[in-house]
Amino acid sequence: MFKSMSIKSRIVISFALLALMISALFSLFNFLFMYNVEDNFFEHVIKEEAELIATQLKQNNQLTQPKRPFLKAYRTIEQAPAEFVALYHNQPKRREFAGQNGRHYHVHINQSPKFVVLGEVSQYLVVRPIRNQIFKFLAFCTAIVVLIAIAISYWLARRATQPLSTLTELVKDMSPEHLPVNFSAQFPRNEIGFLAKNIEQSMTRIRHFINREQHFTRDASHELRTPVAIVKNSIELLKSHPLSAQQLTLLSRVEQANWQMEQTINTLLSLAREPETSDPTELLLLLPQVEEVIVSLADKITNKHAALTINVPSKAKLCIDKATFGIILTNLIDNALEHSNANEITISADESSFSVSDTGSGFDMPAEQATQIMAKHIDSKGFGIGLSLVQRLCERWQYDLAILSTEQGATITVSV
């Protein structure tokens, strides 16, 4: 819980705890000091009386009684009150004893000549009768000190964290479209100012990067879409002329490949721009889309001599964008053909997911590393090349991507 607190709250709580600890120690020392002063007073009085008694005892060999009424002199310990004698024999080295019913004893044992001076001082104690009042007074003083510490620490914390709070609000409201400019000048030249300066420099680099990316995306959009549009128009012109069956088949493949290229370009540009598009809401009938992808890859499948098995129910549907489904499935099949040396490829789908399995050698790496081969900037060592797009599309639409790799092959499943 302490980690989730603001810096201001931590400072205030730390000051309050420090003030409470110091006040508690001060109160404890006060009590010890008062008890020590009181005990020293009684010991001094008893010692003074004992010296007078010893002087008279040496002069006339008579044990005189002390002048103070709470003191008594005895030849031996056994002549003292029974309660004190019992306490003394239990702890013979002590010189202060607490009896019953509030009685309190101080004793002085004189060695030469031999006698005992005993004082029952309960009626003359000062600290004990007002102990509760002292507790209340010290508690009140402690509360006042803690409140003062809280007030001072709040003022200090507010002044110390105000620049940091301003910087936090400034950073919190940042967006790629509206990055602040030259904001570090308003901060003091200390650690916070240094932090603000570094953030400003980072924001400047990000702004330049975003501008370069936007320019590149705009230029790439034009340069890539132009040849695709030319091919598309050329196909339409060719369709208007009489063609043989073989030419129509080839033209259909060119048209399908051009459509796939157009959808891939649109998807890549969409991912680069991160538009605020909504999730697909219509169900896509999967089997026709699977057949279109297979037709577009027919030549490669034939050249690889791979057997293709389709386990897709005729009525299976998924809530997925048509272009996204086509790009993902094309990349998964293409990866199985190119990098797994698969003899058999199986395409499966149900109402919540679709998968591509092969009977190749798998990814030839530990299971925990298999998922990482799709990530950008990860060396795949020949496996998973081109699947970075699949990973990005799954992240964009929040699809679950799972990889199961064994020596008998690999299965990649996309759950929608």
Domain for residue 50, yes or no?
Answer: yes
Q: Are residues 294 and 253 in the same domain?
A: no
Q: In this predicted structure, what is the pLDDT of residue 176?
A: 60
- β strands within 231-361, DSSP E: 284-285, 307-311, 317-318, 344-349, 353-358
The domain spanning residue 372 has which CATH number?
3.30.565.10
Q: How far is CA 114 from CA 76, 108, 349, in A?
A: 8, 11, 109
Domain for residue 271, yes or no?
Answer: yes
Mean pLDDT is lowest, of 96-100, 249-253, 310-314, for 249-253
How sure is the predictor about 107, in pLDDT bands with cuts at 50, 70 and 90?
very high
33 burial level (CB within 10 Å; 0-12, 13-18, 19+): exposed
The pLDDT of residue 406 is above 50 = yes
* Edge-to-edge strands, sheet with 344-349: 307-311, 344-349, 353-358, 409-415, 400-406
Domain for residue 167, yes or no?
Answer: no
Domain for residue 146, yes or no?
Answer: no
CB 80 within 8 A of CB 74: yes
Answer with the one of 70, 105, 134 that is the final residue of a domain: 134
How sure is the predictor about 383, in pLDDT bands with cuts at 50, 70 and 90?
very low
CB 363 within 8 A of CB 387: no
Name every residue whose Cβ is closer than 8 Å to that of residue 296 and which is 6 or more positions away in sequence: 253, 256, 257, 260, 330
Q: How many domains does the chain fold into? A: 3
How sure is the predictor about 117, in pLDDT bands with cuts at 50, 70 and 90?
very high
The mean per-residue pLDDT over the stretch 113-136 comes to 88
The pLDDT of residue 395 is above 90 = no
Q: In this predicted structure, what is the pLDDT of residue 71?
A: 92
Q: In this predicted structure, what is the pLDDT of residue 379?
A: 46
69 vs 58: CA distance, rounded Å: 23
Q: What percent of the chain has pLDDT over 90?
A: 22
Domain for residue 169, yes or no?
Answer: no
The mean per-residue pLDDT over the stretch 153-157 comes to 88
Q: Are residues 192 and 211 in the same domain?
A: yes
The pLDDT of residue 259 is above 80 = no
**401 versus 339: which is more confidently predicted?**
401
Domain for residue 159, yes or no?
Answer: no
pLDDT in tens, 36-75: 898 899 899 999 999 998 988 888 888 888 988 899 999 9
How sure is the predictor about 169, in pLDDT bands with cuts at 50, 70 and 90?
confident
Domain membership of residue 385 as a residue range = 279-415
Q: Are residues 118 and 36 in the same domain?
A: yes
How sure is the predictor about 256, in pLDDT bands with cuts at 50, 70 and 90?
confident
Q: In this predicted structure, what is the pLDDT of residue 412?
A: 92
165 vs 158: CA distance, rounded Å: 9
- If you search the block for the tokens 């199986």, which residue do you land on? 346
Q: Are residues 13 and 99 in the same domain?
A: yes
Q: Are residues 263 and 283 in the same domain?
A: no
Q: Are residues 257 and 351 in the same domain?
A: no
pLDDT in tens, 303-321: 788 889 999 999 999 999 8
The mean per-residue pLDDT over the stretch 339-358 comes to 85
Answer with the one of 134, 164, 188 that is the final residue of a domain: 134
Q: Are residues 285 and 395 in the same domain?
A: yes
The pLDDT of residue 364 is above 80 = no
Q: In this predicted structure, what is the pLDDT of residue 374?
A: 54
Q: In this predicted structure, what is the pLDDT of residue 291?
A: 92
Q: Are residues 273 and 283 in the same domain?
A: no
Q: Are residues 95 and 71 in the same domain?
A: yes
The pLDDT of residue 14 is above 60 = yes
CB 296 within 8 A of CB 255: no
Q: Are residues 286 and 404 in the same domain?
A: yes
The mean per-residue pLDDT over the stretch 195-201 comes to 82
Question: Measuring CA to CA, which residue among 177, 197, 199, 173 is closest to residue 187?
Answer: 197
Distance of CA 84 to the CA centre of its chain: 64
The domain spanning residue 249 has which CATH number?
1.10.287
Q: Are residues 232 and 290 in the same domain?
A: no
Q: Taking CA 50 as the corner, what is the angle to CA 49 and CA 54, rounded to the nearest 5 degrees?
A: 120
Answer with the one of 79, 107, 134 that is the final residue of a domain: 134
Q: Are residues 248 and 181 in the same domain?
A: yes
**135 versus 277: which is more confidently predicted?**
135
Q: What percent of the chain has pLDDT over 70?
A: 88
Structure letter (DSSP) for residue 77: G
Domain for residue 108, yes or no?
Answer: yes
Domain for residue 217, yes or no?
Answer: yes
